[in-house]
Amino acid sequence: MPENFEYGGHRDKLAYPLGVYCYAWPIVATQKAAPLRGYTATKDQLQTRLRRIEGQVRGIQKMVDEDRYCIDVLTQIAAIQAALDKVALGLLDGHARTCVVGAEPEIQDQRTAELMAAVGRLMRRG
């Protein structure tokens, strides 16, 4: 993210190629007026969640090393899936607000198409 990038005003956004400078997270962190709602998270919160998920994946490796009961390992995998779903919903939410609704009208259409393709991949899981 370039310094002095004024995001809320969408100032130099159109100077950049479509889909390159649009981040769900920074606007939320700086947009003081808007209440943080539901899925939306700041960049720091997002990184904290991702580190926790990384720790959960390492935890599963340890469980396998220790020959823990497979059902317990599967329960942990389902928990990671749920945590990843939450992160994904947070990103989708930020993207929808910032990069779709907040985009210049001429690119909203493509941005919506991208959003829906991402939702489809998440529903089918990859």
Shortest distance (Å) from residue 47 CB to a second copy:
6
Shortest distance (Å) from residue 62 CB to a second copy:
10
Binding mask 20-59 for a second copy (x = CB under 8 A): xxxxxxx-------x--xxx---x--xx--xx-xx--xx-
Give the span between the Cα atoms of 78 and 82, in whole angstroms. Answer: 6
Instruction: Please report whether residue 80 would count as binding a second copy according to CB under 8 A.
Output: yes
With respect to a second copy, which residue has the nearer C-beta, 15 or 123? Answer: 123
Query: Among 4, 15, 71, 106, which residue interacts with a second copy (rule: CB under 8 A)?
Result: 71
Rounded to the nearest 5 degrees, what angle is found at the Cα of 110, between the Cα atoms of 105 and 112? 85
Helix (H, G, I), strand (E, B) or coil at 111: helix
Instruction: Please report whether residue 6 would count as binding a second copy according to CB under 8 A.
Output: no
Instruction: Please report whether residue 114 would count as binding a second copy according to CB under 8 A.
Output: yes
Tokens encoding 58: 């390492």
Give the span between the Cα atoms of 108 and 47, in whole angstroms. Answer: 28
Long-range CB contacts (< 8 A, 24+ apart) of 56-60? 56/80, 56/83
Query: Among 4, 15, 32, 78, which residue interacts with a second copy (rule: CB under 8 A)?
Result: 78
